[in-house]
């Protein structure tokens, strides 16, 4: 990597103190050695510094995709092209646009935007749409983020997320905007695995199934 430097070693030493050394010092202020929880550091630049880097990614890979934005805005996201178009026609004008967005997402080397996901559980709701009261079509899937209610950073509990809220959201859309699936029949609600690049959520912080609000729907 080529970086700007000075031929005068005295000036170069001062410059390195301002540039490389201050970058390392800023990272050290996070107290990473004895940290009780996993922390993430992002170096937005190409300057080599004296620190071990786990992932090298491009700016495009680091920035959230359209699917990331939808997930953050809605608190969840449909996992099928049909669902993406039905629930967010503003972002995906047709099924083809949704399929294209999904294919791009599958090709990304995401190291990245979903670190916030570590602070929440994610559940997948599988359901069928109803026509004249009867299920039809393929099973649809929707990924919800379920926030953790923190008494402290080390003591997390699952925040309530009742079935009727999930059902209403899926049938009527975000804030009842009408961009939903219509009448549905929920088949199952299960915990989703974390993104591959993240540490698994500490199972000690997840209540046993009888106490977990989504297991008793």
For 3, the domain range is: 1-54
Q: Are residues 72 and 64 in contact, defined by beta-carbon separation less than 8 angstroms? A: yes
CA distance 108 to 119: 22
Q: Model confidence at 158, in pLDDT bands (50, 70, 90)?
A: very low
With a pLDDT cut of 90, the percent of the chain lying above it is 26
3-state secondary structure of 11: helix
| Average pLDDT, integer, range 105-127 | 59
DSSP bridge partners of 157 = 149
- As for how many domains the chain has, the answer is 2
pLDDT band at 111 (very low <50, low <70, confident <90, very high): very low
Burial grade of 141 (CB within 10 A; 0-12, 13-18, 19 or more): middle
Q: Say yes or no: 7 and 93 in one domain.
A: no
103 and 18 belong to one structural domain: no
Rg of the chain over Cα atoms, rounded to whole angstroms, equals 22
Please tell me whether residues 143 and 122 are part of one structural domain.
Answer: yes
Q: Does one domain contain both 115 and 19?
A: no
Residue range 15-28: mean pLDDT, rounded: 90
Closest CA to 170 of 142, 207, 205, 211: 142
> Residue 114: is its pLDDT beyond 90?
no
Give pLDDT, residue 21.
92
- Arithmetic mean of pLDDT over the chain: 76
- Give kind and range of the element (H or E) at residue 70: helix 66-74
Query: Each residue of 39-55: pLDDT tens digit?
Result: 888 888 888 888 888 88
As a whole-number percent, the residues of the chain with pLDDT over 70 amount to 73
Q: Give the C-alpha separation, 94 to 43, whole Å.
A: 37
Asked whether residue 214 carries a pLDDT value surpassing 70, the answer given is: no
Residues facing residue 142 across a β-bridge: 78, 125
Pair (72, 135) in one structural domain: yes
Q: Supply the pLDDT for residue 5.
A: 85
In terms of domains, do 65 and 86 share one?
yes
The predicted-structure confidence for 56-101, as pLDDT tens digits, reads as follows 888 877 787 888 888 888 888 898 899 999 999 999 999 999 988 8
């Amino acid at each position: 990597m080529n970086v700007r430097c000075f031929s005068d070693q005295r000036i170069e030493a001062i410059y390195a103190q301002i540039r490389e050394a201050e970058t390392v010092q800023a990272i050290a202020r996070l107290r990473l050695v004895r940290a009780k929880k996993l922390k993430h550091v992002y170096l937005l630049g190409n300057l080599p510094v004296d620190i071990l880097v786990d992932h090298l990614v491009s700016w495009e890979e680091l920035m959230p995709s359209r699917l990331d934005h939808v997930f953050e805005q809605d608190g969840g996201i449909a996992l099928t092209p049909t669902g993406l178009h039905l629930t967010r026609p503003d972002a995906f004008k047709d099924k083809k646009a949704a399929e294209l967005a999904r294919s791009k997402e599958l090709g990304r080397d995401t190291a990245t935007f979903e670190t916030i996901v570590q602070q929440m559980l994610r559940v997948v709701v599988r359901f069928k749409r109803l026509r004249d009261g009867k299920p039809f079509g393929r099973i649809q899937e929707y990924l919800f983020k379920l926030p953790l209610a923190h008494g402290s950073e080390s003591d997390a509990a699952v925040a309530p997320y009742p079935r009727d809220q999930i059902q209403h959201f899926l049938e009527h859309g975000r804030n009842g905007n009408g961009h939903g699936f219509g009448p549905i029949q929920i088949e199952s609600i299960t915990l989703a695995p974390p993104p591959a690049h993240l540490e698994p959520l500490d199972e000690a912080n997840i209540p046993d199934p009888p106490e977990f609000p989504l297991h008793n729907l």
